[in-house]
Amino acid sequence: MPLILAAGNPLRKDDGIGPELLLRLRQETLPEGTTLQDIGTDGFALIDLVQGADRVLLIDAVNMVQPAGTTKLFSPRDVKFICKGDALSTHGIGLADVINLMEGLNGTFPTNLTILGIQPKKLGHGKGLSTELHMRLDEYLGKIRAWVG
């Protein structure tokens, strides 16, 4: 059964992309058994949630040094590859840090985890997404629906 997780803080502009997409998904009819959960900025929550699920999609604002609004679907192996010691996520503990911890605890990367990274434009204090992200919400929802299958 698919589990869709949203990470982020809606009070930090584009960092709220995950929670915003989760709100919109809750208004849709998804395949039976699909679970939606907002983990906020608690990266450590990912550890237990991933271990108990068949397939996990994590939606998060990710600094990929790309134009604002760019998306990438990637696996934890890719995070390990592109991480150079600094936090990949916009949260206090980086996504790469949590995934590296999971590898250390389990001896392997979580193979059931896929990350939908969305390049933010604005991460300052305040509510609301940048125009670049807001205009692409339907595109992001389409990618999520395709992943759920």
Cα(95)–Cα(79) distance, integer angstroms: 8
- Residue 111 confidence (pLDDT): 74
Nearest CA-CA partner of 6 in 115, 119, 148, 131: 115
Beta bridge partners of 113: 56
**Contact 73/143 with Cβ under 8 angstroms?**
yes
| DSSP strands (E only) in the chain | 2-7, 35-40, 55-61, 71-74, 113-118
Cα(18)–Cα(132) distance, integer angstroms: 15
- Residue 32 confidence (pLDDT): 92
For the chain, give every domain's residue range. Answer: 2-148
pTM listed for this prediction: 0.83
- Residue 35 confidence (pLDDT): 93
- Domain spanning 2-148: CATH superfamily: HybD-like (3.40.50.1450)
- Residue 87 confidence (pLDDT): 47
- Residue 93 confidence (pLDDT): 60
Ranges in the chain, pLDDT < 50: 81-88, 90
- Residue 106 confidence (pLDDT): 66
